[in-house]
Amino acid sequence: MVEITEFEKNYIKAIQDGSAAIFAGAGIGRSSGYMDWKNLLKEFADSINLDIERESDLIEVAQYFKNEKGSRYDINSKILNEFLREAKNTRTVDLLASMPIFYYWTTNYDHLIEDALKNQGKAVDTKITSDSLAVSLNNQAVTVYKMHGDCIDPSNCVITKDDYEIYNQKRNVFTIALQGHLVTKTFLFVGFSFEDPNLKYILSRIRTLLGENIRTHYCFFEKVTRKPGQTKKEFEYIRNKQELKIHDLQRYGIQAVMLDSYTQIPEILEHIKLQARTKNIFISGAAHTYGNNWDKTGVKLITLLSKLFYDNEYRIVTGHARGVGSYIISTLLENIQKDNSPLESHLLIRAFPYEDKDNPKYVSLKKEYRDSIAEISGITIFIFGNKENENGECVQASGMWDEYKSALTHNSYIIPVGSTGFVARDIFEEMNKNRDRFPYLTSKDFDILGTSTNPETIVNQIREILLRIKKL
């Protein structure tokens, strides 16, 4: 068993390293309105005189029904009609889909995960058959592995004992792919009660596949509590059985994350999502002029900040604004060439497209573009903030204020260097008046960010802030 904080720390690191994966079970669809296994098979159990509540092996029930009826037509029809109907996404599903994760495995037949990912604007490469594993979309696509099939093709869904017994003949490529991911990725199992009849088959495959190459994975468990009317003996029996399950899962490298209630899951995922984004730092700033206080040291501040983020393995997001973007890029390129490090690990250029102000959608397009930057950037730093207008005058770069509002909306950690003046000063003053909204910033932070014009002093203070954010 691991504590929530330890799990979050390890899984955040996996996301930032690009090695995180999700394994989704039937539980994520239950609150969306889909049937669980017992309800799906209840009418079939009734028809062969079995009580579904007394049966623990539901795969066996499906097989018995097929045996008696001579076909699985009715099961196929049930799967098609149940899982093709529209269902609402839950907060948990939406959070899973919004994370910067590229690998999703599921035993579910529905389209909840794929639809949620598409709603996030992501390209989705869905693997349903062995043939589909041979063809891939571009590198930016998210891959969903439906190892037990899809409701659009119910005759090939894995549901009976026959299906499981011939799995490695028909779907051996899925087995190989799963083996590779279990060794190289860190999985979070979500929506598994660990009573799910699918899971014991999956776990047996995992142990066979991995051997001694066991990587740590995680799952959620709700702590057993004594229910009204439950005897002490009954409660202790259930609690003991849960402990035995947890210990057994450790054979497969799966560590239990203990929760007081499964309702905590969305809050945990929200925190993981926010902290995982903190590897990306957006430097919002533009400078037609650096102003009197920074005329000789403005470039040095930008250079030192860029070097700080590079040395600490952050990725800088820049809009390539005048007086700021070019110095960020040149600093990073100098260090990247020296260290022979991949550029994409340290820099993401999100320059604004050509400003077609005659376009009726121009304002909304700008907002969407800024929101897309805030969505991937867990930390935003504001410096300077001025530009030259059409008349050659130096004016406030009002777009930075929009970027501030977008950062607030997306719960980014905001660090304003107010002493650089202009819009950065305005943002600083606004935050200074509402300090309680930014508990990660101390009085010392505000003092230095608001008054110091020494680049080294400011960069050292921002280093302290970043260390503090890492511990949240």
> Positive or negative CA dihedral for 456, 457, 458, 462?
positive
* Residue in this structure with the two tokens 């504590």, named with its chain if needed: 3
d(CA 40, CA 42): 6
Q: What amino acid is encoded at 52 in this protein?
A: I
* Residue in this structure with the two tokens 């991949």, named with its chain if needed: 342
- Helix, strand, or coil (residue 61): helix
For residues 125 and 143, the answer to whether their CB atoms sit within 8 Å is yes
Structure tokens at 322: 């005048």
Structure tokens at 394: 């130096």
For residues 284 and 426, the answer to whether their CB atoms sit within 8 Å is no
> Positive or negative CA dihedral for 138, 142, 148, 152?
negative
For residues 293 and 390, the answer to whether their CB atoms sit within 8 Å is no
Going by the DSSP 8-state scheme, the letter that residue 50 receives in this structure is: -
Q: Exposure string (b/e) for 336-365, b if CB count within 10 Å is 16 or more?
A: beeeeeeeeebbbeeeeeeeeeeeeeeeee
- Helix, strand, or coil (residue 299): helix
How far lies 446's CA from each of 155, 410, 450, in Å?
64, 22, 6
The active-site residue, picked from 111, 148, 288, 346, is 148
For residues 130 and 172, the answer to whether their CB atoms sit within 8 Å is yes
Helix 443-451 × helix 455-470 angle, to 10°: 150
Active site residue 148: yes
Structure tokens at 353: 């497209």
d(CA 156, CA 166): 12
d(CA 226, CA 235): 6
Nearest C-alpha neighbor of 281 from the set 308, 321, 254: 308
Active site residues: 148
